[in-house]
Amino acid sequence: MKKLFWIGSALEDLRGFPESARIEAGTDLRLVQQGVEPRDWKPMPGVGRGVREIRNRTKEGAFRVFYIVESATAVFVLHAFQKKSQRTSLRDIDLGKARFKMIP
């Protein structure tokens, strides 16, 4: 099983999700740890090479998690946030880019 590494405030941000969104994101991150694709995702090359976005929708809204699988043993979680508009905000993309650069 791959180990999760949380960059910046990603873990605290995910913990701030409503319970249903937290469970959904946790389920998908567990799949990624096991080497399986999350249930709903898309590539985010604008954030960084190999970065993906987990997409979850609950009754509380749309929630996203940026992550990258860097090796056979490591997954880096870059950013977790609630999406408030159709397009991902530039603020969220820029934060993901900055954290991508922090990966050792």
H-state helical runs in the chain: 10-15, 19-33, 90-100
88 token code pair:
């991902």
Express each pLDDT in 21-72 by its tens digit: 999 999 999 999 999 999 999 999 999 999 999 999 999 999 999 999 988 8
DSSP state of 34: T
Residue type, 63: F
For the chain, what are the domain ranges?
Answer: 3-100
CATH of domain 3-100: 3.30.2310.20
What's the pTM value of the predicted model, to 2 decimals? 0.95
pLDDT per residue as tens digits for the range 67-91? 999 888 999 999 999 999 989 999 9
DSSP state letter for 89: P
